[in-house]
Amino acid sequence: MQIEHWHEDRDGLLTEQALREKIAGRGYAVSRCVYPPGTFFPPHDHGVDKIDAVVSGRFRMTLGGQEGVLEAGDLLLVPKHAMHTAEVVGDEPVVSLDGVRVR
């Protein structure tokens, strides 16, 4: 599992719009999701390549037998048909940008 972190010196100021543009620039359609504390997505997969990114909050992801916690500015590539889980960690909702490969 490779979590890509936002680096302000390279990526600029972290804003929702800047994160959205970074994902869209890689050929993904982007939608915004808000998940309340306690949200858990059991093992599942998708028929397309995806990127999960966090604007705020903490999102625990498992993928390929590995676990990591995404925080503000973090991205995770989830290849199509890769089984994974996701869970909101803590008392804050997660504001997430969900990227779906379109090209």
pLDDT in tens, 2-52: 899 999 999 999 999 999 999 999 999 999 999 999 999 999 999 999 999
Contact 49, 76 (CB under 8 A): no
The token pair at 17 is 């719009």
Element (H, E) at 51: strand 50-56
Tokens 């990526």 belong to which residue?
A: 11
What is the pTM for the complete model shown?
Answer: 0.94
Instruction: Spell out the CATH class of 3-101.
Output: mainly beta
